[in-house]
Amino acid sequence: MAKDRMACENCGWFAVRGDEKVGECHRYPPTLDMPLGEEWKHASTHRDNVCGEFVHRRTGDSFQADPYRAMTVRIARLEEEIDRLRRNHGEA
């Protein structure tokens, strides 16, 4: 786990598979990979990085004064948890 509570691995915008140390920031839409121009990518970032767009994945805490951003993350995480619980209980 990252030492800094505001690190990417704790952010609601961060996506990583498994135990990889590098993931993707999904704060903004993917952009076209310019050298090849063939692939759309999200920005790569290390789990321990920190930025001003941070929104904690569970609490919604943020550097930003925008309460709607925090609420959006909280709602998304609750919806994920509801879906997970439904799948675990065999519901559609």
Residue 17 has, within 13 A of its CA and on its CB side, a CA count of 0
Could you report the per-residue pLDDT of 9-20, keeping only the tens digit for each? 999 899 987 778
Mean pLDDT, the chain, integer? 80
46 compared with 38, residue with greater pLDDT: 46
Residue length, the chain?
92
Question: Rounded to two decimals, what is the model's pTM?
Answer: 0.57
Rounded distance between C-alpha atoms, residue 44 and residue 52, angstroms: 16
63 compared with 8, residue with greater pLDDT: 8
**Res. 74: pLDDT tops 60:** yes
Instruction: Give me the pLDDT at residue 2, please.
Output: 43
Helix (H) or strand (E) holding 88: helix 67-88
